[in-house]
Amino acid sequence: MELILISAAFVAGFIALKCNLPPLVGFLLAGFGLHAFGFQSNSTIVTLADLGVTLLLFTIGLKLDIKTLLSKEIWAGATIHNLLSTAIFAIALICFKFLGVGSLASMSVEQILLLGFALSFSSTVFAVKSLQEKGEMNATYGTIAIGILVMQDIFAVVFLTASTGKLPEWYAISLFTLPLLRPAFYKMLDWVGHGEMLVLLGIFFALVVGAGLFELVGMKPDLGALILGMLLAGHKKASELSKSLFNLKELFLVCFFLNIGLSAQPTLSGFALAILFLLLLPLKGILYFLVLNVFKFRVRTSLLATLSLFNFSEFGLIVGGLAYKMGWMNSDIMVALAIAVSISFVLSAPLNRHGHALYQRSGRWLREHAAEKLNIRDQLINPGHAQVLILGMGRIGTGAYDELRHRYGKISLGIEVREDAAHEHKAHGRNVIAGDATDPDFWERILDVANVKLVLLAMPHHQGNQIALEQLRRKNFQGQIAAIAEYPDQLEALVEGGVDAAFNIYNEAGSGFARHVCEQLKPTFSK
């Protein structure tokens, strides 16, 4: 059976990829197809799926700044949206009930409210995978979307704990000592090096220390993995640890999407009810946009965050599953939820993929806030007298900045998508500001680029560099452009796109290493 599941997942994922859809859409459809042929989910698939979600939340925590959750646009925005969407969905479902929808006829108002609550969540798994594929996890809209999703996960955990009537054990208070253990955790990260022991330590932290301890005291294991990841986020190896777990997490999440399809038996009534649920999805998106707009974000930020959240959630299935076990929902509702979640992923995938293009087409029709009233994350940018813009201040961008400063003085301005990293660069004396160079409005927010003669595209994701290059060309930038890439085909695409120079980072690292050795050691060789 395992061979059939693997083969079906690979074929369906490959077809989805060739159709310009995320592979997860193929995995979902593979699950439904296999179920139609009599295959069922089993304990192995469920266990691997749970491991995938736990590792996902752990890696989210590794990249999440607690200050993000404490900002009012996150905690207040998530709360307002959850309350409003639950109420609006419940009203709509009650209308469906009085119109004669059979599956809803026997449900009380309280049960319909619970169903509206389940539909109010958006998918953490889908949004994170979509943002990772675009390389925009740290973009302003990406951090907002992730923050809202984490708050929703917390809401779901609170509900699941309360609805089961099972309170955490009295000794759950001991979990408050975890922050005191952070120095010990940091030491462990320092000691294990960079190889397989780092991966094993990450799994140990996520599954044993985080999920295991929380489950032991009667709390949701996934919440434990998330919180432990957040405790480790300040360590210098946090990013490396996240990357080392990436492929393992992705493999387990294949089982998660397969399991959704394998666990539901599509019925005609369930499918019809799922279509009604999907009719409510635009209301959910409009609410996200309006709530974010209240906090004075630009149209682009609000729209792209909305698209990332424009789906139903696997947590809705968990909430629905608990309600089904307690007799609050019938089987048709559960089937409809599973189908609605799956179809929402299929609908959301192309919208997210073409989010920037959708913004460019619709942005002009949506009213923008006055520049002086914009959220601090979306303020106008003044490059001053900078002659070089470096887009992406990771290791490569930072190295380029320092080399240019050594050769020509203070002529550069670094653009870094992560606010915390930008502040750290400033603390080291670099001229760096926070900004999203893939943003179509980014160049519009720059007050004057007349002095800029050179732009370096040093972002870690090829798609991000390509998008920035397109924006530069639309801006009719007259200076020179240089870019980095990992693979030969990416170099070709950049050259065709109009860069003046494209460099393979691995080749350049090798030549730089050799140059450094010759300068430092001054070896003598016989000819």
Give the pLDDT confidence of 229-242 residue by residue, as tens digits: 888 988 888 888 88
List C-alpha distances in Å: 399 to 4, 142, 385.
Answer: 48, 26, 21
Q: What does the block give as tokens for 432?
A: 């760096």
As a whole number of angstroms, the distance between CA 99 and CA 171 comes to 50
Q: How confident is the model at residue 378 (pLDDT cuts 50, 70, 90)?
A: low
Q: How confident is the model at residue 464 (pLDDT cuts 50, 70, 90)?
A: confident
Residues 285 and 401 in one domain: no
Amino acid 84: pLDDT: 95
Residues 23 and 92 in one domain: yes
Residue 383 lies in a domain: no
353 compared with 206, residue with greater pLDDT:
206
Residue 196 lies in a domain: yes
pLDDT at 227 over 80: yes
Q: Please tell me the total number of residues recorded for the chain in this structure.
A: 527
pLDDT at 348 over 80: yes
425 compared with 339, residue with greater pLDDT:
425
Total structural domains within the chain: 2
Residues 355 and 394 in one domain: no
As a whole number of angstroms, the distance between CA 34 and CA 160 comes to 30
Neighbouring C-beta atoms of residue 479, cutoff 10 Å: 15
Q: How confident is the model at residue 165 (pLDDT cuts 50, 70, 90)?
A: low
List C-alpha distances in Å: 319 to 217, 287, 309, 416.
Answer: 21, 22, 18, 39
pLDDT at 45 over 70: yes
Work out the percent of the chain whose per-residue pLDDT is above 70.
91
Residue 380 lies in a domain: no
Across 153-172, average pLDDT: 72
Give the domain CATH number at 450: 3.40.50.720
Which residues sit opposite 455 in a β-bridge?
Answer: 389, 481
Across 120-133, average pLDDT: 84
Q: How confident is the model at residue 48 (pLDDT cuts 50, 70, 90)?
A: confident
Neighbouring C-beta atoms of residue 521, cutoff 10 Å: 8
Residue 368 lies in a domain: no
Q: Which residues contact 469 (CB under 8 A, 6 or more apart)?
A: 457, 481, 483, 494, 497, 498, 499
* Last residue within a domain, chosen from 363, 380, 396: 363
Q: What does the block give as tokens for 52?
A: 């995938």
Residues 290 and 242 in one domain: yes
Amino acid 445: pLDDT: 67
Residues 297 and 397 in one domain: no
Of 117-121, 126-130, 273-277, the least confident: 126-130
Amino acid 476: pLDDT: 80
Residues 72 and 114 in one domain: yes
Region of residue 206 (phi > 0: left; psi between -120 and 50: alpha; otherwise: beta): alpha
Residue 377 lies in a domain: no
Across 469-497, average pLDDT: 86
Closest CA to 320 of 273, 287, 279, 283: 273
Neighbouring C-beta atoms of residue 14, cutoff 10 Å: 12
As a whole number of angstroms, the distance between CA 38 and CA 63 comes to 41
Q: Provide the mean pLDDT of the chain.
A: 83
Q: Please, where are the H alpha helices in 109-139?
A: 109-119, 124-134
Residues 393 and 487 in one domain: yes
As a whole number of angstroms, the distance between CA 166 and CA 159 comes to 11
pLDDT tens per residue, range 19-38: 877 687 788 788 888 888 88
Residue 439 lies in a domain: yes
Q: What does the block give as tokens for 190?
A: 């320092």
Q: How confident is the model at residue 72 (pLDDT cuts 50, 70, 90)?
A: confident
Which residues sit opposite 325 in a β-bridge?
Answer: none
Residue 73 lies in a domain: yes
As a whole number of angstroms, the distance between CA 100 and CA 96 comes to 7
What DSSP string runs through 476-501? Answer: T--SEEEEEESSHHHHHHHHHHT-SE
Q: How confident is the model at residue 390 (pLDDT cuts 50, 70, 90)?
A: very high
390 compared with 373, residue with greater pLDDT:
390
Q: What torsion, rounded to 10 degrees, do the Cα atoms 319, 324, 327, 329 define?
A: 90
Residues 472 and 335 in one domain: no
Q: How confident is the model at residue 177 (pLDDT cuts 50, 70, 90)?
A: confident
Residues 298 and 437 in one domain: no
Predicted model pTM: 0.70
* Last residue within a domain, chosen from 293, 328, 363: 363
pLDDT tens per residue, range 284-302: 999 999 999 898 888 888 8
Q: How confident is the model at residue 85 (pLDDT cuts 50, 70, 90)?
A: very high
Helix axes 72-98, 109-119, angle to 10 degrees: 130
As a whole number of angstroms, the distance between CA 402 and CA 189 comes to 28
526 compared with 174, residue with greater pLDDT:
174
Q: What is the per-residue burial (b if ≥16 Cβ within 10 Å, else e) of 201-229? A: bbbebbbebbbebbeeeebbbbbbbbbbb
Q: How confident is the model at residue 417 (pLDDT cuts 50, 70, 90)?
A: confident
Of 141-150, 158-167, 287-296, the least confident: 158-167
Q: Please, where are the H alpha helices in 326-416?
A: 331-353, 355-362, 395-408
As a whole number of angstroms, the distance between CA 413 and CA 435 comes to 11
pLDDT at 526 over 70: no
Residues 231 and 353 in one domain: yes
pLDDT tens per residue, range 493-515: 888 888 898 888 887 777 777 87
Residues 282 and 196 in one domain: yes
Tell me how far the alpha carbon of residue 298 is from its chain's centroid.
20
Residue 270 lies in a domain: yes
Q: Which domain holds residue 393?
A: 388-521
Give the domain CATH number at 105: 1.20.1530.20
pLDDT at 519 over 80: no
As a whole number of angstroms, the distance between CA 293 and CA 191 comes to 46
As a whole number of angstroms, the distance between CA 129 and CA 266 comes to 26
pLDDT tens per residue, range 93-121: 999 888 877 778 888 888 889 889 989 99
Residues 305 and 452 in one domain: no
Handedness of CA 363, 364, 369, 375 (dihedral sign): positive
* Last residue within a domain, chosen from 363, 397, 423: 363
Of 222-231, 360-369, 415-424, 456-465, the least confident: 360-369
Amino acid 370: pLDDT: 65
Q: How far apart are the first and last CA of the chain?
A: 63
Closest CA to 188 of 237, 248, 240, 239: 237
